[in-house]
Amino acid sequence: MSLLGNGKRMVTVTINKNQYLAEEGEIFLLTANRLGIDIPHLCYEKALEPYGACRLCMVDVVTCGKTDMTPACTIRVQNGLEILTDTPQIIKHRNLLFELYLAEAPKSEVIKEMAAKYGVTKTRFLKKIVHDDPLQGKCILCGLCVRVCEEIMGASAISFINRGPYTVINTPFYEHNPDCEGCAACAKVCPTNAIVFEDIGTNRVMQSWSDTTVPLMICPECGKPFAPQRLMEKVLTKPESGLIEEIKDLCPECRRKYFTLREIRKIPTNGGQA
């Protein structure tokens, strides 16, 4: 073990029978990726606590000669950790999952490309067909959108609906939900690009969420709509926003112009007189 300048310890781990130095406490999936060891994954998002929903990142943890299949995103690096990433059991499990995802999200190019990378191009399972699917046949029900809406944004505007093979994600009762702030964090974290929204005029329409419509804030300087109004109001009321009063309602472009003009005015003129 060794100590880094930032106070974090480097420990020895064994991956596929090769030894490496890794940062103690780091998520093993990140360690493996940093070391160039490829482990497929879909549901890991650094802003959220890992919970291994997609199961694609499964690896074998070796303890006293026995293996235990575990999601790599839920493992924390510790000294002496031993991992196998490409055993026949892991490969079989991974290929089966890819087949299931090809059936669950038949229109997802992300899934198709990832599966093909690992040699899976067809599925033996019946493909899921949802007529007028607001998630475009791309959703794998990983739940990242639900979690970021609840845990990060504090809105809980969407949730899992129904059970078993009929499970979907949407707003309650498939209706416009006033709790939605239109932040689009759900679309940002979606690993398969299933979530669709569009800014139309002075509104943001969350098309995947029952066409929930959120008004956009209008910049008083240029008159352009630029961000969801409710979201901006929430951000601007926080003390740590750090925005001065006269520019807090401006769009990013007008804010940049404001600061540029302010800096220009500081340039000395008239023989060095400011």
Kindly report, residue by residue over 122-142, the tens digit of the pLDDT. 999 999 888 889 999 999 999
CA distance 149 to 157: 7
Q: What is the pTM of this model?
A: 0.87
Dig out the tokens for 83 from the structure: 């991992």
Among the listed residues 242, 241, 150, 246, the one whose alpha carbon sits nearest the alpha carbon of residue 189 = 150
pLDDT (tens digit per residue) in 155-202 = 999 999 999 989 999 999 999 999 999 999 999 999 999 999 999 999
What's the whole-number average pLDDT of the chain?
A: 93
237 residue type, one letter: T
Q: Identify the three-state secondary structure at position 140.
A: coil
Which domains, ranges and CATH numbers included, belong to the chain? 2-86 (3.10.20.740), 130-261 (3.30.70.20)
Residues 6+ apart with CB under 8 A from 81: 11, 13, 14, 22, 28, 61, 75
Half-sphere exposure of 259 (CA within 13 A, CB side): 10
Per residue in 151-163, pLDDT (tens digit) is 999 999 999 999 9
* pLDDT tens digits along 38-90: 999 999 999 999 999 999 999 999 999 999 999 999 999 999 999 999 999 99
- Which residues contact residue 214 at a Cβ distance below 8 angstroms, ignoring those fewer than 6 apart? 180, 181, 182, 203, 204, 205, 206, 228, 229, 230
As to burial, measured by CB atoms within 10 angstroms (0-12 exposed, 13-18 middle, 19+ buried), residue 141 is middle
Q: What b/e sequence results for 161-178 when a residue is b if at least 16 CB atoms lie within 10 Å of its CB, and e otherwise?
A: eeeeeeeebbbeeeeebe
